[in-house]
Amino acid sequence: MKIFLDTANVGEIKEGVALGVVDGVTTNPSLIAKEKRPFRPLIEEICSIVPGDVSLEVVATDFEGMVKEGEELAQVATNAVVKCPLTKDGLKAVKYLSGKGIRVNQTLCFSPTQALLSAKAGAFYISPFLGRLDDIAHVGMDLIRDICEIYRVQGYRTQVLAASIRNPLHVVDAAKAGAHVATMPFAVLEQLMKHPLTDIGLKKFLDDWAKLGEKI
């Protein structure tokens, strides 16, 4: 499973890429606005840092606007992927853009039927928001499992990008369900690599070595 960072913060992205485990980045209008930087230079810098795909979201809500913005975003870099919301016009935009060879990440997916339609329209990625479903007392991971099963049985090549990830358990369960990608905040990525027994074990090793008084 690929790991993407869900952020527009250049510092976080550079640190994640330096770890060697970050494959791509997802952004959205909220994350971009949070950085308080001019839009085009920011996304160009992000695309230049990231080794894999970078999702850049349209802000238009009508078909014509999504297509216009999508075509512009696709020109930012070769690793740019256009994000369109899962609405009626969003589905039409996915069909059009994918037909032009532009890869699309269809975002804000909350049901298996939405995911089915998105795959039929030609989406490269589908982004089910499991954390937001958990927030309203639905089991978000059930949606990931359902979509993965539908795509596998039906033979769709659309990649399942588990989004709205809030904790390491979400990452583990998404991987077990068969999601192709999990996108997460930098804080969750940091949690993935930490374990108290690792810290305890390392401290003991170093304490014992210090008592020996040797050097490597």
Q: What percent of the chain has pLDDT over 90?
A: 98
Residue 83 is a catalytic residue: yes
CATH number of 77's domain: 3.20.20.70
pLDDT of residue 131: 94
pLDDT of residue 79: 98
pLDDT of residue 80: 98
pLDDT of residue 93: 98
Coil, strand or helix at 79? coil
Split into its structural domains, the chain has a count of 1
Radius of gyration of the chain measured on its C-alpha atoms: 19
Please choose, from the candidates 105, 111, 183, 94, the residue with its C-alpha nearest in 3D space to the C-alpha of residue 147: 111
**Which residues of the chain, if any, have pLDDT below 50?**
none
Distance CA(150)–CA(19), nearest Å, equals: 34
Q: Which domain holds residue 205?
A: 2-212
pTM higher than 0.85? yes
Of 14, 83, 95, 194, which one is the catalytic site residue? 83
Phi first, then psi, for residue 136 (nearest 5°) are: -110, 30
pLDDT of residue 160: 98
C-alpha distances (whole Å) from 33 to each of 8, 13, 36, 87 are 9, 16, 6, 23
pLDDT of residue 19: 96
Distance CA(183)–CA(5), nearest Å, equals: 5
